[in-house]
Amino acid sequence: MLVEAENLTRYYGSFLAVDGISFSIGRGEVVGLLGPNGAGKTTTIRMLTGFLPASDGTARIAGCDVRENAIEVRRHIGYMPENNPLYPEMRTREYLAFRANLKGVPRRRRRSRIEECIRLCSIEEVAGQIIGTLSKGYRQRVGLADAMLAEPDVLILDEPTIGLDPNQIREVRRLIGNLSERHTVLISTHILAEAEAVCRRVLIIDDGRIVADDTPAALSERLLHGAVTVELKGDPQQIRAELCRLDGVRSVHLADSTGWHTASVTPETGADVREAIFRAAARNGWRLRELTRSRASLEDVFHRITLGRPEAEPAVAAQEN
């Protein structure tokens, strides 16, 4: 495991910000750390980078203990903090050269590595510009270029798209997507679409505790138990009765709209009832124009988990066939 956290705890005075969280991230994973503002994401990340010491528990990066071997840990990470602080008076290339120096990029490779990062982050046109004059999108990319300079094993990005416009967000996400080919990436965000777009696994953190750890698809599945939406034309009484009789169906909710009936079918856990519904429609001569398995968006999952709403309530935000 490249990143390991065991019972990480952090107090600010008497306030418990992170409450004994544990997780591990393997090589090549792209993991989203999700949570509402103030959930403890930044504190967790700061403990992983060694910027903040944990009040209790341990963290290891590439097998090195963050507290006991802080300098070695920092050689393995590329970190872009929240708000991406940079030196505004420096020029982009000069800044990257300074950072490459600090990070110990070998002298013979330094120049080529800086140019490679400039190219990868598409900041060639602002490489000679003063950072203070750059747009937020460019500054964010300079921060990303800095994070990847020393070719670290782990990239830790805290809210990498905050404050960007939609085009810039798309650009930065594309960049992060490319980074995942070479690095293990941990992204903290409260923007769910971001985690859904780039992460293969999400950790949801709330009130300093991890409340969910799974793939976005599995979390969605867990929330809706594979609920199916079907749109049919036929006798509503018969439709309800027949669907309720099917194996694996827990409940059926039928709504009428201009002759077509929309049925929301909640199956037993793990059951996929789409084929049975199709056969029932064929058998009874109902006209069928839609049969989809509902999938909750990560936003629904996040909302329900962090606000403690019941998981079984069906909600359809995104759908998959």
Is residue 71 within the footprint of another protein (CB under 8 A)? yes
- Candidate list 38, 63, 85, 308; residue touching another protein; CB under 8 A: 85
Residue 119 tokens read as: 């190219």
Is residue 63 within the footprint of another protein (CB under 8 A)? no
- Candidate list 7, 56, 63, 89; residue touching another protein; CB under 8 A: 89
Task: Look at the block and give the residue holding tokens 């998981």.
Answer: 311
Is residue 61 within the footprint of another protein (CB under 8 A)? no
Class of residue 228 by CB neighbours under 10 A (exposed 0-12, middle 13-18, buried 19+) = buried
Calpha distance 143→134 (Å, rounded)? 12
- Candidate list 94, 231, 299, 311; residue touching another protein; CB under 8 A: 94
Calpha distance 198→201 (Å, rounded)? 9
Residue 294 tokens read as: 């509902």
- Candidate list 32, 50, 137, 208; residue touching another protein; CB under 8 A: 50
Of 70 and 193, nearer to another protein (C-beta) is 70
Calpha distance 315→270 (Å, rounded)? 17
Residue 300 tokens read as: 């629904």
Is residue 163 within the footprint of another protein (CB under 8 A)? no
CB of 149 to another protein, least distance (A): 10
Residue 231: CA atoms inside 13 Å, Cβ hemisphere, count?
8
197 and 173 Cβ atoms separated by less than 8 Å? yes
Residue 310: CA atoms inside 13 Å, Cβ hemisphere, count?
3
Query: Max Cα separation, the chain?
Result: 78
Non-local (6+) Cβ contacts of 311 within 8 A are 222, 223, 304
Size of the site for another protein (CB under 8 A): 28
CB of 118 to another protein, least distance (A): 18
CB of 103 to another protein, least distance (A): 5
Q: Which listed range, 73-81, 159-167, 168-176, 290-298, lies at the site for another protein (CB under 8 A)?
A: 73-81
Residue 48 tokens read as: 């992983």
The 8 Å CB, 24+ separation contacts for 212-217 are: 212/301, 212/305, 213/23, 216/298, 216/301, 217/295
Is residue 86 within the footprint of another protein (CB under 8 A)? yes
Is residue 128 within the footprint of another protein (CB under 8 A)? no
- Candidate list 29, 146, 153, 171; residue touching another protein; CB under 8 A: 146
Is residue 75 within the footprint of another protein (CB under 8 A)? yes
Is residue 90 within the footprint of another protein (CB under 8 A)? yes
Is residue 81 within the footprint of another protein (CB under 8 A)? yes
Of 37 and 237, nearer to another protein (C-beta) is 37
171 and 121 Cβ atoms separated by less than 8 Å? no
CB of 113 to another protein, least distance (A): 15
Q: Which residues bind another protein (CB under 8 A)?
A: 46, 49-53, 71-72, 74-75, 77, 79, 81, 83, 85-90, 94, 98-99, 101-104, 146
